[in-house]
Structure 1
Amino acid sequence: MRKIYIILSSCICLSAFGQVQHQANQIQPQVGDNFTMTSVEFKVQDTSGQNLLWDYSNLSQLNPSISYSYLQGDTSLSNNNLKVEFPNSFHRIYITDSTIEKFYSISNIEERHYSNPETTLFYPMAYGDTMEDDFTYVAQQGMINISTVGSSKFIVDGEGTLMLPHATYDNVLRIKIEVHKTLNVMGDFYESEEVMYLFYAPFIHDYLLKFTQSSIDTFYVEAGRMLIDNYAGIEKENDHLMRIIPNPFDDRIEVSNWGKEVQSISLYTMQGSRVYTNDLPAFNQKFIVNTDDFQKGSYLLCLFNKRGELIERKRLIKI
């Protein structure tokens, strides 16, 4: 049974003090997203709270990097699911909606059949939010069946700035996930414990950094992973072909042909800080954004509908 707890005081803080809150359309992966994954040293800083600075700028890389993309999944499972393909025929399937993301199956040397899929994330999320989840599945490895019963506890335990070797990100939320599993392997039972720390930033469509501590009986493992968003799909245009000129830009941006479903426009730094937002006119006319005060660098221009859902995004550069 899945239980989500959103503390009322957190909602009050959001409006009164501008607390960071991540929506599904900000961090949920989309078809075409491409990432580079690197194994890094396990160096978790077990500090929680707000206005934190997590300094991982000197993380050591342990193994060669690999790249992966999010692809369209099997629509017979759900109308909204994604498939992730890694090297060596390894892939995962995620079923997503506006409030929850579920881990559906894994395929490499085993195939999992879920009676209750695992939850990976919940939306929206802000500092202090918690959730609990139960899941069950049977994994087949050749002639061996492994049945698993487990439970997860999530808590958004940190909010602040994350420093990585390649970039620094603001408005980051850290999620701590504690997982307990009981595995039945042909009548032999094993207990498994896992603690994960995952860092998310707005408009980076996957975690930025992940530390994992896991154990099965007396076997213990610590691991770290860092992802780099390769920005695949950011230049993607919808059918109505939104037009933004010039790009690169200097003191202004002109937006046109944005489509009737679009309600508002926002501009973000690549670290997730919003630097501009406004409603667009009802008629599809030219709209000017004054960018005199913007610093040089890369930005994301995002268009949203009336429900606050991301319709389109485009990467821009100020010179």
Structure 2
Amino acid sequence: MPAAMEGHGAYNRGSRVQGASSAPALGLLEAAAQAAPLPDPPAPLVIADYGASQGRNSLAPIGSALAELRRRAGPDRAVSVVHTDLPGNDFSALFETLESDPASYLKGDGAVFPSAVGRSFFGQILPGSSVHLGWSSWAVQWLSRVPAPIPDQVQVAFSRDAAARAAFAAQAAADWRAFLQARGAELAPGGRLVVLAMATDDASDFGYGAQVATLYAALEDMAARGAITAAELGRMAIPTYGRTRAEFSAPFAGGRFAGLRLEGLDVFHGFDHVFADFSADGDARAFGAKWAGFSRASVFPTLAAELGADADRAARFMDALEQDAAARLAAAPAPTVIPLAEMTLVRD
């Protein structure tokens, strides 16, 4: 199982790329909220946020969904919002965000009740037929496990090893089906789930070429200096996979899967706000720092897990890797391709 995102609010601070790129899917979520079933009162409306991390990137989507549901059900109808993530997630940061962030969906709404579940979403984690509206952003690209070593990289999309690529593709297919099976059980009849995830685009591009090349080069230098061992580097792998349009739609070849229907699937390129900022201000150091912070908050904890239980060593490793990656990226700022997929799943 991959490690949770970096805690103590680090993911909230380092995940602006994810937040900015989620905006295109908000229209899908609002449409889903307009069509989601409303249970008979006094039963609450249930929104599930699958892969919430520390919450900041959930505020706008859940707030938009709530606004649509309030228009339909009124201001006093109870709404339960369940945020889910891995057991090691920093749920304290999530609830602090909900309480203190000025953009929190709790502001001005006394009938919304947040809670959390710390379990993997590759199994059923909520009661059957209980969820009316679901949202999952930048989460399903994470696999349940590393299925095989990657001998020449840390991201399989850039590996030339056929066995590793095949193992990751098979794991991604199995995990996607497991995710769908669980959501098919949890969604109420007529319930809707909007998914936004990393993808491989129609030109077979996973994106993030400079970021991944920089990261692996920095890790190789650390191994050459003895900061990490060759064996530790060999074990390091990022368990993410960018599915293609065909891989996302494969379970629905017969029309439905696990009681779910795929209602629209789009693969597109997300907005590269980091390069847009650089184009406006010319600050190469900030450019490098933003992309290095993105990597640190999301994937460095999984890489550091291969160093053993020494927390101080892991912290030094992450600090050094971030500094090296930031400097390398600052030396040659360039646009980044950010392939994403968005879709709506409906339980009939």
Q: TM-score, normalised to structure 2's length?
A: 0.27
Decide which structure has the larger Cα Rg and report it.
1
Question: Could you say which structure has the higher strand fraction?
Answer: 1
Q: TM-score, normalised to structure 1's length?
A: 0.29
